[in-house]
């Protein structure tokens, strides 16, 4: 029997870019993932979806699982010979109870490995522009739990030592006890005027930082309604925030952008400028239910004058089937190729194939225009066209091509299906106003979104800025009673991203 193993992985404080490379590699081979609430849920998108997902989080004081139940789940799955990843926010060994879980695994004779994560004790102050050490202000710091019941007779916290022995103090999970914490520090000799800051949701678009003095920070936290998760920093390094704050200055800071298709590098500029991507694909690309029609077209490939690819997916699945049938690009010799969209054209050119025509408008109407211009007699008589495409697609171009006398075959090369997923977390984010822009790249991505979200789908989108690619998508959304605010002239993700950046700057 295969020997199981448990990886205790720190997911970092929230910014998905702070997950370590090693952590990501381990997650991608996970067979079981036991995960917490306080982490960026987008990390779960990078895990094999055949894996077993076990939610063990705590929110609002409610525990989905007790610590004993978590320990048992880790041990049981590992004993079944599975690769188990225990995914925690921050770092497992910094107030993450990772040590307790590791002890159980050792006792059970289960192999484990610890993959550290970036702790919020360091990351949240850093994203707020507060260094924990600085040659002029601080040569030491301490990280302290703020979650202890400090009214109990025998506290494990040496208040006198912390108040007087360290230049910088960092309290985690201390919002609930902030009045008592600040009082204890002042009581044991810390200056009431010591600079203090509280950073909520550090490294996330929701990040909010308040700055005051030790004696007044508790009142300000109440006034500003700062709730967990938050990190408190006390010390002269807080004075550097006005000079060193950088995250909040990013043009897209505060924006969380929903993408309803699989992430690509075209979305990177949004993240570079400070936005967080909420990836929630509402379509999945799969092979067609039958290759019969596509195989028939490939068997007579030399008879076509043109092949039109309307998407990168259409090209990808066509080429894969061509190769599966023991053919290759040499069989395309003499056939002209048209690509709808610059992204599709780039994918084709990566194969060393020449793209003969790209319409100015990246849609069926644009294709009709260029093919009409190809013929001086406004006819496609004698022209044979192959259009490998999705199983469900618009008939605008095929009908026009036949009307002009052309012969066209439209075999299914792939199909877009609605993934089996629930949108509970996304729905909550939308209702709480934590999504500022929602993007849709096709009518299918929107229609599937509505199906997944349920009857109140349009209601939760009404206060969100909607960005789309192309008028067909816009029409589907407007038909549902919503307003499309962003639509680029060029129907590409890159152009849409550029328009979102421009919108945010206005």
How far apart, in whole angstroms, are the C-alpha atoms of residue 366 and residue 492? 14
Q: What angle do CA 454, 264, 398 make, to 5 degrees?
A: 75
Give the CA distances from residue 62 to residues 44, 57, 58, 65, 305, in Å, rounded to whole numbers and listed in that order.
22, 8, 5, 9, 65
How far apart, in whole angstroms, are the C-alpha atoms of residue 217 and residue 398? 68
Strands, sheet with 389-390, edge to edge from the N-terminal-most edge strand:
284-286, 412-417, 389-390
How far apart, in whole angstroms, are the C-alpha atoms of residue 24 and residue 6? 14
Q: Please give the distance of CA 160 from its chain centroid, rounded to a whole number.
A: 44
How far apart, in whole angstroms, are the C-alpha atoms of residue 224 and residue 381? 72
Q: Which residues are catalytic?
A: 36, 58, 173
How far apart, in whole angstroms, are the C-alpha atoms of residue 483 and residue 485? 6
CA-based torsion, 224, 230, 236, 242: positive or negative = negative
How far apart, in whole angstroms, are the C-alpha atoms of residue 472 and residue 461? 19
Under 8 Å between Cβ of 294 and 274 = no
Under 8 Å between Cβ of 288 and 413 = yes
Give the CA distances from residue 405 to residues 355, 368, 375, 379, 390, in Å, rounded to whole numbers and listed in that order.
24, 13, 11, 6, 24
How far apart, in whole angstroms, are the C-alpha atoms of residue 337 and residue 59? 55
Residues 6+ apart with CB under 8 A from 304: 297, 335, 384, 385, 386, 409
3-class DSSP state of 129? coil
Pairing type for strands 284-286 and 412-417 reads antiparallel
Residue 467: strand pairing partners: 439, 486
């Amino acid at each position: 029997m295969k020997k199981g193993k448990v990886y205790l992985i720190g997911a970092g404080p929230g910014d998905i870019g702070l997950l370590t490379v090693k952590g990501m590699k381990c997650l991608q081979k996970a067979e079981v993932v036991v995960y917490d609430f306080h982490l960026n849920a987008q990390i779960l998108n990078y895990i094999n979806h055949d894996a077993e997902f076990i939610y063990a989080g705590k929110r609002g004081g409610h525990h989905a699982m007790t610590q004993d139940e978590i320990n048992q789940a880790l041990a049981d799955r590992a004993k079944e010979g599975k690769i188990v990843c225990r995914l925690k926010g921050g770092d497992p060994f910094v107030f993450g109870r990772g040590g307790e879980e590791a002890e159980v695994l050792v006792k059970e004779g289960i192999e484990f490995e610890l993959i550290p994560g970036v702790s919020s004790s360091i990351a949240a102050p850093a994203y707020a522009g507060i260094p924990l050490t600085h040659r002029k202000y601080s040569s030491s710091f301490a990280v302290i739990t703020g979650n202890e019941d400090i009214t109990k007779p025998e506290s494990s916290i040496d208040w006198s030592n912390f108040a007087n022995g360290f230049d910088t103090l960092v309290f985690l999970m201390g919002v609930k006890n902030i009045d008592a914490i600040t009082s204890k520090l002042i009581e044991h000799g810390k200056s009431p005027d010591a600079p203090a800051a509280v950073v909520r949701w550090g490294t996330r678009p929701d990040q909010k930082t308040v700055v005051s003095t030790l004696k007044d920070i508790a009142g300000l936290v109440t006034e500003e309604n700062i709730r967990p998760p938050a990190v408190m920093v006390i010390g002269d390094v807080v004075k550097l925030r006005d000079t060193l704050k950088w995250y909040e200055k990013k043009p897209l800071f505060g924006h969380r952008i929903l993408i309803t298709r699989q992430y690509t590098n075209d979305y990177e500029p949004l993240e570079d400028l400070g936005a967080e991507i909420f990836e929630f694909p509402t379509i999945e690309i799969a092979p067609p239910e039958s290759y019969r029609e596509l195989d028939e077209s490939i068997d007579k490939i030399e008879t076509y004058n043109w092949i039109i690819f309307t998407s990168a997916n259409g090209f990808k699945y066509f080429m894969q089937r061509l190769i599966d049938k023991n053919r290759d690009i040499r069989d395309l010799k003499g056939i002209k190729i048209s690509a709808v969209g610059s992204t599709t054209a780039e994918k084709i050119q990566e194969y060393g194939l020449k793209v003969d025509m790209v319409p100015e408008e990246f849609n069926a109407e644009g294709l009709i225009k260029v093919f009409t211009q190809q013929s001086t007699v406004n006819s496609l008589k004698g022209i044979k066209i192959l259009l490998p495409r999705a199983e469900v697609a618009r008939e605008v171009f095929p009908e026009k091509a036949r009307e002009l006398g052309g012969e066209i075959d439209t075999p299914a090369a792939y199909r877009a299906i609605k993934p089996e997923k629930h949108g509970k977390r996304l729905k909550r984010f939308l209702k709480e106003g934590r999504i500022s822009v929602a993007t849709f790249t096709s009518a299918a991505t929107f229609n599937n979104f509505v199906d997944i979200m349920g009857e109140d789908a349009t209601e939760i989108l009404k206060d969100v800025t909607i960005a789309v690619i192309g008028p067909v998508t816009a029409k589907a959304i407007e038909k549902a009673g919503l307003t499309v605010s962003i639509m680029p002239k060029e129907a590409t993700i890159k152009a849409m991203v550029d328009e979102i950046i421009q919108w945010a700057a206005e």
